[in-house]
Amino acid sequence: MSCPNCGGEELRFPIPEAVAEYLPDDRPAATLCTNCLAVAPADDVPDEYPDFTRVSDAFPADGETGAVLACLLALLDRLVVHREDAERVATEAERRGVDVLLFLDRLAGDPGLDPQLDVERRRRQLEQLI
């Protein structure tokens, strides 16, 4: 599979139950581009969470927590529409021990990525919510 946005490799992951209700799409899985970080809903659910550290070292080693952060990226892409949901998903990530703002800082500073969304700008907007 390759990303329709940039042609990069995609990781497919199950949507964690803890955040499923906050996503605008009710499909059970999604893909994350390892290059531009675009997230798209998917129907086929993989058996396991992938290794998100392949995308960036900013991701935690725990795959399910990585999937929560990937869901957050999807919401940040349309933060104006999904403010409250983004806040809830960020809270879930924090509950799992992730410093969400630090995570976004590290993503923004990762030279191996070419994010389609303005990570630094979204980080500043999210900072005002949480």
What part of residues 16-35 is at the interface with Zn ion (CB under 5 A)?
33, 35
Q: Of the two residues 116 and 125, which places its CB atom closer to Zn ion in the complex?
A: 116
| Cβ proximity of 76 and 118 under 8 Å | no
Contact between 87 and 130 under an 8 Å Cβ cutoff? The reply is yes
Output 18 or 36, the one with its CB closest to Zn ion.
36
How far apart, in whole angstroms, are the C-alpha atoms of residue 130 and residue 111? 27
* Token pair listed for 112: 């191996």
Least distance (Å) between residue 112 CB and Zn ion = 13
Please say which residue, 33 or 98, places its beta carbon nearer to Zn ion. 33
| Residue 125 is a binding residue for Zn ion (CB under 5 A) | no
Task: Give the SS3 label for residue 128.
Answer: coil
Residues that bind Zn ion (CB under 5 A): 3, 5-6, 8, 33, 35-36, 38
